[in-house]
Amino acid sequence: MTTTTAPESQPFQAEVAELLNLMVHSVYSETDIFLRELISNASDACDKLRYEAISTPELIADGAPPKIRIAPDKKANTLSVVDSGIGMDRQELIDNLGTIARSGTKSFLSRLTEAKDGANLIGQFGVGFYAAFMVAERIVVTSRRAGSDQVFVWSSSGGSGFEIAQAGDEDAARVTRGTEIVLHLKKEAAKYLETYEIERVVRAWSDNIQFPIELVPEEGEPRQINSASALWQRPKSELKPEDYKQAYQQVAGAFDEPAMTLHYRAEGRQSYAVLLFVPSTKPFDLFDQARKGKVKLYVRRVFIADDADLLPAYLRFIRGVIDSEDLPLNISREMLQNNPQLAQIRKAVTGRVISELESLGEKEPEAFAKIWDAFGPVIKEGIWEDFERREKLLALSRFTTTKGEKRSLKQYVEDLKPNQTDIYYLTGESVERLKSNPKLESATARGIEVLLLTDPVDAFWTSAPLDFGGKPLKSLSQGDIDFGLMPLLDEKAEDKQDEAGADEATTIALIKDALGERVSDVRASQRLTSSASCLVAGGGAQDRMLERLLAMQNKGPTTKPILEINMRHPLVAAIAGDKDAARDLSFLLLEQAQILDGELPEDPAAFANRLNQLVLRGIAKG
């Protein structure tokens, strides 16, 4: 290789250097990933060329359709992957091969370090080019951007940096458009120079890539080794589960199997083909703040965009392809957001996805349960965001309740107690903590089922006015609760409810005087049966869990809670009977309620001192 200018050395971004170190010094069982990822990148480059050539036809002046070539060379111990796609200029080589410009990189690297087999993680995260360093001791990339006179050479041995230079005449003449990647293989990777091994990998992982993949053997004529068919355009009757699995892994860049597949063709006012997959494992960017979808838009088999927001953000975990027959080929990315035809496709496909998930939940509850475990928190974002489909998304949702796991609201409503008019829920940080929350006591004593909501998103969607089947959803930590019309399960407990407790007016007055402005009100509780106190939000205030989450992000003011007290509890009764200890006991009621809600007392040292004094006072009296 000759170059016309001296190579310029540049360091890798710190995360790339760390990643390469892992690649070079770790041995993953799925080393085949490197070839699949290089072919996938080559396919993307060919897609981009076809898209740009719609508005700039001279980019394909030679008239030759894009393709991918794989050429082994045993003598030189190299494997070349060459595409005639869009190519890269000097800055694109630096940006694309020297940095990982995406969020979550640190998390990915830590997961990769811990994983026994990182192939699936690499595929999910989209850093496939670097996987080539698992099999190559040196990589040389020569690229010419379509329409450019300049050719550049990027090279690296997987150390701390790379070199880049303008290509010499020989390289420039060889690469007329696109990118050539030459891997100088390690000794243990020599098997990838065998034609049968290359064909095996391509058949397994890249058979449905949309462009011809040619194997260029050292002897004989080049031959195409993939089917290069748009699988989503083929009838379902022709396809097998294995075909869908391969298509999913290629489209999603994943190694798991799809948990659900949706393949159909829409005809009528608009014609389009749909092939969508629900993964069985969470993608790394599931909770990325951008919340971008990953369904690819094609128009008559020509790739247009992979970020066209073809599904709402709460379905961003879905992967696949939508191929329209009616959209204009030259549609710009700016026009995608406001195109009425695309809006109709979005609406129809979203409805179909939700219907398919509903059907799966009814017919194959175990399969749906796995999807819900992985993506339930994301789907529930739609209850807040998608008013039109709110009822359907509520029906789709599954909840952990005081009766069990994976309960639907339909099951909840079917099991309502006599005279029960509301669906009750409680939000918190964990199921275990919620099960021991005092606010559950009165509901539990009556056998009333309560939804135990522990995902952060639960605090948000429950803040909307919701009902299911005409039954409003009501928080046990907000507003008034009246279970008076629903009898206790234990008749003896019913008798205890009628027993006189502490003097209500006197006790409440003493507690209010002691706590002052720390609470907005003190009142007798309908929620408690055995605990002494709990904190709730007023009917017009935000749920306490939501308020805490917003306060952590400095996005909302905090309001004073209401302290509810159990008038039949000995600790509450002691307040009116022991005026000397009334102040300390009042604070103890507040602070233990805070602790049970997962909060710290306002002054932990004062709390500890107060508790010690009360204990010592009790010991002295004893």
Scanning the structure block, which residue is given the tokens 């329409």?
147
> Looking at residues 504-522, what average pLDDT do you find?
93
Contact 302, 51 (CB under 8 A): yes
Distances (CA, A) of 321 to 70, 206, 254, 305, 545: 26, 16, 15, 10, 39
Instruction: Identify the helix (H) or strand (E) that includes residue 543.
Output: none
Predicted local confidence at residue 35, as pLDDT: 92
126: confidence class by pLDDT, cuts 50, 70, 90: very low
CA distances (Å), 365 to each of 78, 99, 228, 410, 469, in order?
Answer: 50, 43, 36, 14, 21
Q: What mean pLDDT is predicted for residues 429-434?
A: 92
Compute the residue count for the chain: 622
Token pair listed for 269: 């006012």
Decide if pLDDT at 395 tops 80. Answer: yes
CATH code 3.30.565.10 region(s) in the chain: 8-224
**Looking at residue 367, what is its pLDDT?**
95
Chain position carrying tokens 């309502």: 416
- pLDDT the model gives residue 125: 44
The separation between CA 358 and the C-alpha centre of its own chain, rounded to angstroms, equals: 20
> Once rounded to an integer, what is the mean pLDDT over residues 166-176?
95
CATH tag, 8-224: 3.30.565.10
Q: What is the pLDDT of residue 616?
A: 87
Note the pLDDT of residue 557: 64
Give me 406's structure tokens. Answer: 């994976």
Residue 388 in this model has a pLDDT that exceeds 90: yes
**Topology annotation, domain 231-367:** Ribosomal Protein S5; domain 2 (3.30.230)
pLDDT digits (tens, 9 = 90+) for 102-119: 444 555 566 656 654 454
**Residue 356's CB: how many other CB atoms inside 10 A?**
16
| pLDDT value, residue 368 | 97
- Given the structure tokens 């796995």, which residue do they identify? 370
To the question of whether residue 566 is assigned a binding role by annotation, the answer is no
Is residue 127 part of an annotated ligand binding site?
Answer: yes
598 is in an annotated binding site: no
124 marked among binding-site residues: yes
SS3 36: helix
Topology (CATH level 3) of domain 408-622 = Four Helix Bundle (Hemerythrin (Met), subunit A) (1.20.120)
Give the model confidence (pLDDT) of 1-20 as tens digits: 444 567 898 888 777 777 77
Per-residue confidence (pLDDT) for residue 206, from 0 to 100: 83
Residues 221-254: tens digit of each pLDDT = 999 999 888 889 889 999 999 999 988 988 887 8
DSSP characters over 335-391: HHTT-HHHHHHHHHHHHHHHHHHHHHHHH-HHHHHHHHHHHHHHHTHHHHH-GGGHH
Q: Is 37 annotated as a binding residue?
A: yes
Q: Which two tokens stand for residue 237?
A: 């009757």
User: 207: Cβ–Cβ under 8 A, 6 or more apart, which residues?
Assistant: 226, 227, 246
pLDDT over threshold 90, residue 491: no
**Cα separation, 619 vs 287, whole angstroms:** 53
CA neighbor of 295 nearest in space, from 234, 361, 342: 342
- Chain centroid to Cα 2, Å, comes to 47
Q: If phi over 0 gives left and psi between -120 and 50 gives alpha, with beta otherwise, what is residue 112?
A: alpha
Q: What is the mean pLDDT of residues 363-387?
A: 95
Mean pLDDT of the region 339-356: 95
What is the distance in angstroms between the CA of the first residue and the CA of the last residue of the chain?
Answer: 94
Amino acid letter, residue 594: Q
| Chain Cα centroid distance, residue 404 | 25
Give the three-state DSSP class for 542: coil
- Which pLDDT score, from 0 to 100, does residue 490 have? 78
* Mean pLDDT, the chain, whole residue set: 87
Domain with CATH 1.20.120.790 in the chain: 408-622
pLDDT at 381: 96
Arithmetic mean of pLDDT, 174-187: 96
Report d(CA 272, CA 280) in Å as an integer: 26
Residues near 602 by beta carbon (within 8 Å), at least 6 away in sequence:
518, 591, 594
Structure confidence by residue, pLDDT tens digits, 11-70: 887 777 777 776 666 545 578 878 988 998 899 899 999 989 988 999 998 878 899 999
User: What is residue 113's predicted lDDT score, i.e. its pLDDT?
Assistant: 61
pLDDT in tens, 459-475: 999 988 899 999 999 99
103 labelled binding-site residue: yes
Averaged over 118-138, what is the pLDDT? 69
pLDDT at 391 over 60: yes
Dihedral, CA atoms, 473, 479, 485, 489, nearest 10 degrees?
A: 80
Q: What is the C-alpha separation between 499 and 573, in angstroms, rounded?
A: 13
Cα-Cα-Cα-Cα torsion 2, 3, 9, 11, nearest 10 degrees, comes to: -80
Provide the pairing of β-strand 294-299 with 302-305. antiparallel
596 has pLDDT over 60: yes
Find out whether 104 is annotated in a ligand binding site.
yes
Identify the pLDDT of residue 26.
58
pLDDT at 313: 95
Token pair of 146, please? 């379509």
- Write down the pLDDT at residue 467: 94
Phi/psi of residue 221, nearest 5 degrees? -90, 150
- Least confident stretch, 61-70, 225-234, 389-398, 552-561: 552-561
Report the distance separating Cα 569 and Cα 579, nearest Å. Answer: 17
pLDDT band at 483 (very low <50, low <70, confident <90, very high): confident
* pLDDT number for residue 101: 47
Residues 535 and 564: their CA atoms lie apart, in Å, by 6
Phi, psi of 283, rounded to the nearest 5 degrees: -65, 155
Q: What is the pLDDT of residue 348?
A: 96
Q: Any known ligand binding at 96?
A: yes
Contact between residue 83 and residue 67 where contact means Cβ atoms under 8 Å apart: yes
Considering the chain, tell me which residue range(s) the CATH 3.30.230.80 domain(s) occupy. Answer: 231-367
| Tokens 């709990």 belong to residue | 534
Contacts of 173 (CB under 8 A, 6+ apart): none
Calculate the CA 379 to chain-centre distance: 10
Return the structure tokens found at 94.
């630096």
Q: Is residue 125 part of an annotated ligand binding site? A: yes
